[in-house]
Amino acid sequence: MAIPIVALLTLIFALRWREFVKAIEAEMKNEPVVRVLGLAMIGLLLAVKPFTSQSLAASGVAVVLTFYGAALAVIPASGRFILPYGAVYAAAAGAPAVLLWAFGEPLAGVSSALSAKMAALAGFPLTWQGTQFAFISKTGEVVSGSVTPGCSSISSVTIFIGLLALMQLDLKKDIRSTLKLAGVGVLALMLLNSLRILILLWVGYEYGSSALWGLHDWLGYAIFLGFFLAVLPVYARMKGPMERTAGAPGTTWPSSDQEPRL
């Protein structure tokens, strides 16, 4: 889950590296209190490492906080630049565990219901009971399983919202358009997740359980990566807040002798 966010975060820092360096050079001060705070943060995280290492989500958040503490200790002025990006990443790393606990079972039920309707429309002879399914494949094998909270699209939705938040921090598109894209994207991901389950069931029906579980490991990555790549140009074409204001009713473009100054 962390790989797409880390990749985008790395790209953002690479593209804005000169701005980052200029900001540090312009604002850099000794700030001993901030340096001590950064070192204390690293020390605290090392002290609780045995506890954070027991959870993937906690480990992800700990890595971000360690990086942030090191940045404060080495270059105090960098903290203001890194904080919003680190906060988004930490939230994206920790949110899935909380969301799975709170909404995993209901969303698994929704995914199961959508997949069951799709399977009925496709004519698959499946038996559904809640989130559990069973069928006899064309190979004569009895295949059964269940849609668990981990298969409820929470991870893909969290990654999508995290990526969108990172792009919004950097490109600063109109917030209303970004929120609309987020809402449409969440619904689309839930439908795509049900489609993924349907494809897996079809493969299992045609070729047996070994084919179903073999495809299960990577099909989601292919579908959701394609979705993320499709969203990127859509977001890039959206107007920024100043563009929307300039084109709003009741506003006028400046004349040639009143060109805005940057």
The residue length of the chain stands at 262
pLDDT at 13: 66
**Three-point CA angle 185, 200, 219, nearest 5°:** 55
Q: How far apart are CA 256 and CA 102, in angstroms?
A: 57
pLDDT at 198: 92
Structure tokens, 131: 């989130």
pLDDT at 20: 66
Structure tokens, 22: 């200029």
Q: How far apart are CA 215 and CA 225, in angstroms?
A: 16
Give the H or E element holding residue 134: strand 132-136
pLDDT at 136: 92
pLDDT at 56: 65
pLDDT at 23: 63
Q: How far apart are CA 45 and CA 52, in angstroms?
A: 8
Q: Which residues contact 16 (CB under 8 A, 6 or more apart)?
A: 170
> Hey, where are the domains in the chain?
104-240
Name the β-bridge partners of 145: 133
Q: How far apart are CA 121 and CA 203, in angstroms?
A: 16
Q: Which pLDDT tens digit goes with each residue over 178-192? A: 999 999 999 999 999
Low-confidence residues of the chain: pLDDT under 70 = 1-13, 15-16, 20-30, 52-54, 56-57, 241-262
Name the β-bridge partners of 142: 136
pLDDT at 262: 36
